[in-house]
Chains A and B, each alone.
Chain A
Amino acid sequence: MATFRIKRYNPEKQPEPYYEDFDLDIPKGATLLDCINLIKWTKDGSLSYRMSCRSAICGSCGMKANGHALLACQRQADSLLDKDGTVTIEPLGNMKPIKDLVVDFKPFWDKVNKVQPYLQTSAEAPVGKERTQSPEQFRLIDDTSTCIMCGNCYSDCNTLEVDDNFLGPAALAKAQRFVCDSRDEKTLERVTELSKPGGIWDCTHCAECVERCPKPAQPFHRIKEIMTVALEEGVHNNNGARHALSFTRSVKASGRLNENQLPVESMGYFNIKGLLELVPVGLRMLLKGKIPPIFHKSIDDVKDVKRIYKELNQ
């Protein structure tokens, strides 16, 4: 028997949210979404949440389990239980709750809209054939195009927690989709816009979004790619001090949130001391088995930690 501790909220009935426990025998092989459906269909029909594809492609079922955003349909329920057999389910963060696990996505989409999320070209498209793009050029936007707009990264982004104006990881990943698309002709305009306050340089490099992203889209890596293009395009009137600052903030945030080592990779060239501080955090997490149980991610993480450790030892 497992306990699902679900954060309930229905302002029609009661202004304050509260937690409700549901006990359930988890069927073999059941995902978190399967269990929540069982709760809704057999215990309390008024429980509200979003879902549709149940195959990790529509991006509807984002929610927090034990404090971290995930897709409910993508995770085996029993892997989420703590030693008392409990899992705590809450709505995504950084967005206003509407009812139970349903949050208001309007700000999320408003920000996506802000990055002009569509191909912009000035030349006429060729008639009766495609624009060409090499497999290498395709690869530059392959990862980012996997984004399913689930909002998990947005939910757990540290900058958004303190700064509403930040475009946020999903919108920035979407921006990279066009900044790096060989067919798009507005690269300079885009990176100039994205370098303004609220854009790429406001990211604190905590890499929380990489950890939470269910797809290869992994916004922080995309943000770094935009940064590279911005610098290449000569848009660098705003890094420097700001960069260092964000780095410091990030280390703090990472420490506090017990985040893993991914930021290290990107920060290596900024601050050796910071790096050294970060590594033990990653290792401690590993030892405690706190790396999230997505198989391919864990592998990556382990490799990364080992590699970084090796590099540092040299």
Chain B
Amino acid sequence: MRAALEVCKDLDVALLTKVYPSRSHSGAAQGGIAASLGNSEDDSWEEHMFDTIKGGDYLSDQDAVEEYVKAAPNVIYELEHMGCIFSRTPDGKIAQRSFGGHSRPRACFSADRTGHAILHALHEQVMKHSRSIKVYSEWFMHSLVIEDQQCRGVVVSDVRTGAVEVIQAKAVVFATGGYGRAFQITTNAFASTADGVLAAFNSGIPLEDAEFVQFHPSGLYRQGILFSEAARGEGGYLLNGLGERFMEKYAPERMELAPRDIVARAEQSEIDAGRGVNGEDFIHLDLRHLGEARIMERLPQIRQLGIDFISVDCAKDPLPIQPTAHYSMGGIPTDKFGAVVVDAKGTRLNGFFAAGECACVSVHGANRLGTNSLLDAVVFGQRAGRSALEYAKNVASPSVNESREKTRVLSVFEDIFQREGSESYNDIRNEMKNIMTHNCGVFRDAEHLTQCIEKIQSLQVRYKKGKVTDKGRLFNTELYEIIELGNMLKMAEIISFAALARKESRGGHFRSDFPKRNDVDFLHHSLVYPTEGDGLELKTKPVVITRHQPAERTY
């Protein structure tokens, strides 16, 4: 939406989403959006830059980070001018608070629903500009149209009627979000299924840094729903099955307040050692000692979440939690202007742009800091929009062979409808998620990753023999779930393939068989390309280092 608002200044835009614009998963972001406004304490873009690079374990492209943090204050002001509501300081400025990994209080927030506030403010602007932005809600994007090395549009279908159409466009911007749904336990929405990154990949575009997935330490047991860090911040204890505060062993000083990846690994170690609660794969977040009054005062939302979603009242019982797949650092490679690039040299694919979680600029490197991704989505959303506008103004209207493009997607539909198999898609999906969580999750090693790839590939075979019940056209959500599952199976393979190749531990990627960072051999981005016959090929891309030489990441 941020990109569309940029483009609509001069050209018409079709804004397409498989949900409704106000239902994108950005709405779930609670904590805040980072910018060095310095409203509550002195701050500077230099410090924001350093924190981001250190947090990313030195895999961020520093030229991009620099422009990104410099752009931050202005995009926040723009959001505010658009009408976005922010919590305020007593003198009426945008309030800011501290957040993990940031050395200054620089998270601008709107109570505990920052993403929701931004999403709705952008949607309001889209409604305001309805003359030049036409919204296609509940339309599904299937593939890119690429002719003569140029992006010419997308092939889409109307979820409501099943009709397949081609949208011809001078420029296409993807903002299709993350792909945490490949994992069993995730904070991501059901819609976060890798369709965008896969559409790019299927057009021959590589995916960058796919191995880097951030796991958050406090996902609600089985549901994965996020419990904000506030619960630990307020003094919650993490207890294993023996009732021990196990963080003592892993981070004796910071205990429960250690960085996300460290806490997530500590939890997983306990669970793997059989010290989960009742030997199961969760541990306890205990808030009872805070007392009901304090919980009600400071953490009412969290209490309500537990009651609504898993029927546990944290004032009376400890909350069952486990590490949960939260954010995808990797994605479609772009330059710092939001243009998609297809190789290590930065060659652009004309007419194709990407921003947000589906893109990899890369500002987050190997690990994203909290509150930096909403910022990523607005900064690069705006930039991708501006680049797309400039490009589109100087390019002729495409004339795509629509029927050929449509036929491709229709044949995918036909293929699915004709499946007479006996495999249950539910089983395949569950197995994939299970395999990914257990073999390509918080801890990884060569043996598990190799098995993981084999198992995922065998699921890909079974996928073709699934049992389809709904063969109608009308609002056929089963059909879309099957297509999404196909995308995720491929994405799962790409993630584990890239993870196997990275024989080091960095940021969100931890290899038990290579527990140290290795700058000599792995200070580079990975690019996974598709090859003939469904294979994968790995290439690398250098990291841009300007101001900060890699140093050890300690907190």
**A interface residue numbers (CB < 8 A to B):** 10-13, 29, 31, 40-42, 44-46, 48-60, 73-76, 98-100, 102, 105, 112-113, 116-119, 125, 128-135, 137-138, 141-142, 145-149, 178, 181, 183-184, 294-296
Contacts and interface: CB of A to CB of B under 8 A. Distances in A.
Contact of A52 (B189, B225, B308, B425): B189
A112 B20 CA distance: 14
B470 A46 contact: yes
B127 A51 contact: no
> Which of A48, A52, A133 has the most chain B CB within a 10 Å cutoff?
A52
Nearest to B187: A55
Given A46-B472, A73-B309, A118-B128, 16 more contacts: A29-B309, A29-B310, A41-B425, A41-B429, A53-B23, A55-B225, A57-B28, A75-B308, A99-B474, A130-B76, A131-B80, A138-B85, A142-B85, A145-B117, A294-B308, A296-B304
Contacts of B76: 130
B92 A134 contact: yes
Contact of B124 (A49, A118, A138): A118
Given A42-B424, A59-B23, A125 B88 contact: no
B148 interface: no
Contacts of A146: 113, 116
B81 interface: yes
B450 interface: no
Contact of A118 (B125, B191, B304): B125
Given A51-B190, A52-B23, A57-B113, A102 B475 contact: yes
A74 B306 CA distance: 10
Interface residues of B, number: 68
Interface in B116-147: 116-117, 120, 124-125, 127-128, 130
B27 interface: yes
A130 B93 contact: yes
A94 B304 CA distance: 29
A6 to B, nearest CB: 14
B325 to A, nearest CB: 14
Given A48-B475, A132-B93, A183-B83, A57 B116 contact: yes
A45, A50, A181 — which one has the most chain B CB atoms within 10 A of its CB? A45
B22 interface: yes
The secondary structure that dominates the A interface is: loop
B82 interface: yes
A134 B308 CA distance: 33
Contacts of A148: 22, 27, 116
Contacts of A44: 469
B148 to A, nearest CB: 37
Contact of B476 (A48, A58, A76, A134): A48
B533 interface: no
Contact of A98 (B87, B309, B474, B478): B474
B408 to A, nearest CB: 24
Given A53-B189, A148-B22, A181 B83 contact: yes
B23 to A, nearest CB: 4
- Across the A-B interface, give the 8 residue pairs with the lowest CB-CB distance, nearest first: A119-B83, A132-B92, A45-B469, A46-B470, A41-B426, A125-B81, A118-B124, A58-B23
A294 B116 CA distance: 22
Interface string B455-498: 00000000000001110111111100000000000000000000
Interface of B: 19-20, 22-25, 27-28, 73-74, 76-77, 80-83, 85-94, 110-111, 113, 116-117, 120, 124-125, 127-128, 130, 160, 189-191, 222-223, 225-226, 300, 304-305, 307-312, 424-426, 429, 468-470, 472-478
Nearest to B126: A118
A71 to B, nearest CB: 9
Contact of A54 (B83, B94, B223): B223
Contacts of B473: 12
Contact of B311 (A10, A59, A76, A125): A76
Given A52-B190, A60-B23, A141-B85, A98 B160 contact: yes
A115 to B, nearest CB: 10
Given A12-B472, A138-B87, A142-B111, A55 B23 contact: no
B307 A295 contact: yes
Contacts of A119: 82-83, 124
A58 B477 contact: no
B476 A135 contact: no
A98 B475 contact: yes
A42 B93 CA distance: 52
A306 to B, nearest CB: 19
A100 B120 CA distance: 28
B110 A54 contact: no
Nearest to B18: A52
A113 B92 CA distance: 29
7 contacts: A52-B23, A55-B225, A58-B19, A117-B124, A138-B88, A181-B83, A296-B300
A45 to B, nearest CB: 4
Name which of B124, B128, B309 has the most chain A CB atoms within 10 A of its CB.
B309
A118 B120 CA distance: 10
Contacts of A294: 308
B205 to A, nearest CB: 26
Nearest to B76: A130
Nearest to A74: B308
